[in-house]
């Protein structure tokens, strides 16, 4: 009669699981241990700023709340009215080609950034308080999760802002809100009950992005407020409109227009544009370890 031995395999299972856990703890998602800049010779000066436009937001990258390194963050319901001053940093080669928080692929040569609480995607103007330079980037990632830092720029954006070599800089981050789309009902008519009127100052419209950006920089320096580019592409040839706003009162917009006229910047005119009711909060009145 055969005799069967009962073998206790618990120690074997425990040993295998221990090996798996050890490997998981010592294996990084990234192929590099430390971040780095790209090879020398890269020049970001000709890379255009991001241009704010309306984009549909999904749950991708917008889970709220979320916890990183033991700290919980709440994503803002809207970027409207957001402005913050603090330290900016950058991330580059280590993360290049990997997925961002919303599933896009990070490209250190594009004008993007990571932010802890702004909705994804959002657009912000970033000003280097040490040299006065400004850029516009698109938020498509979460971070930085280092104490005291408020935004993590792509390497290209940091170089264009003038602090890639230093690593960090004092910056001011201001949310930019694109032109609100007109609300149309199923019959094709505008629903006026859902529209509000905002006032913008348009300094000019240019076929050359470089010309529009030069005027944008000059106007921002003069006015001390956000100036953005709105791209129009109805005929296949893009036109870049340089605008300030929106404002709730026409008089406030007109004051900006007069100041621009006084300094002979552009050909400023006041425009009225419909705003979705939710955009009212943006109108000035007198939100993975890196």
C-alpha to C-alpha distance for 115 and 141, rounded to whole angstroms: 6
pLDDT tens-digit readout, 6-31:
555 555 554 544 444 444 333 456 66
Closest Cα partner for 223 from 244, 209, 240, 206?
A: 244
CA distance 142 to 84: 16
pTM above 0.75, yes or no: no
C-alpha neighbours within 13 Å on the C-beta side of residue 284: 19
- N- to C-terminal Cα separation, the chain: 66
Q: Where are the domains of the chain?
A: 66-176, 192-282
From first to last of its 290 residues, the chain has per-residue pLDDT tens of: 555 455 555 555 545 444 444 443 334 566 666 776 787 778 888 888 888 888 888 888 999 999 999 999 999 999 989 999 999 999 988 888 889 999 999 999 999 999 999 999 999 999 999 999 999 999 999 999 999 999 999 999 999 999 999 999 999 999 988 765 545 555 554 444 444 667 889 998 888 888 999 999 999 889 887 788 887 766 667 888 899 888 878 888 889 989 999 999 888 888 877 664 444 444 544 434 45
- Picking from 288, 146, 125, the residue whose alpha carbon sits closest to that of residue 213 is 125
Burial 11-24 (b: 16+ CB within 10 A, else e): eeeeeeeeeeeeee
| 3 state SS of 71 | strand
Q: Are 251 and 241 in contact (CB under 8 A)?
A: no
Query: Whose CA is closest to 146, among 221, 90, 98, 66?
Result: 90
Q: What is the pLDDT of residues 103-159, one digit of tens each?
A: 999 999 999 999 999 999 999 999 999 999 999 999 999 999 999 999 999 999 999
The C-alpha atoms of residue 47 and residue 156 are separated, in whole angstroms, by 8
User: CATH number of the domain at 66-176, please?
Assistant: 2.40.40.10
> Domain spanning 192-282: which superfamily?
Sporulation related repeat (3.30.70.1070)
Q: Which two tokens stand for residue 111?
A: 């004008």
Confidence at residue 192, expressed as pLDDT on a 0 to 100 scale = 43
The answer to whether the beta carbons of residues 139 and 123 sit under 8 Å apart is yes
DSSP H stretches of helix in 150-249: 155-161, 209-223
């Amino acid at each position: 009669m055969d005799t069967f031995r009962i073998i206790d395999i618990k120690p074997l299972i425990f040993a295998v699981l221990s090996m798996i856990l050890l490997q998981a703890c010592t294996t990084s998602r990234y192929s590099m241990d430390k971040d780095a800049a790209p090879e020398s010779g890269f020049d970001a000066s000709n890379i255009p700023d991001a241009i704010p436009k309306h984009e549909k937001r999904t749950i991708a990258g917008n889970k709220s709340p979320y916890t990183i390194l033991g700290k919980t963050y709440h994503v803002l319901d809207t970027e409207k009215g957001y402005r913050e001053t603090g330290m900016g940093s950058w991330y580059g080669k280590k993360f290049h080609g990997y997925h961002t928080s919303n599933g896009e692929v990070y490209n250190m040569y594009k004008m993007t950034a990571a932010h802890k609480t702004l909705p994804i995607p959002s657009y912000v103007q970033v000003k280097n308080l040490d040299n006065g330079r400004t850029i516009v980037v698109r938020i498509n990632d979460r971070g930085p999760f280092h104490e005291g830092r408020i935004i993590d720029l792509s390497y290209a954006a940091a170089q264009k802002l003038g602090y890639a070599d230093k690593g960090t800089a004092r910056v001011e981050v201001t949310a930019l809100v694109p032109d609100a789309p007109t609300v149309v009902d199923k019959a094709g008519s505008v629903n006026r009950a859902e529209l509000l009127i905002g006032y913008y100052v348009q300094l000019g419209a240019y076929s050359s992005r470089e010309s529009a950006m030069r005027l944008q920089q000059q106007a921002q320096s003069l006015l001390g407020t956000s100036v953005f580019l709105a791209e129009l592409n109805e005929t296949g040839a893009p036109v870049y409109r340089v605008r300030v706003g929106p404002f709730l009162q026409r008089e406030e917009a007109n004051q900006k227009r007069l100041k621009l006229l006084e300094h002979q910047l552009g050909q400023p005119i006041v425009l009225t544009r419909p705003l979705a009711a939710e955009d009212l909060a943006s109108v000035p009145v007198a939100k993975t370890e890196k």
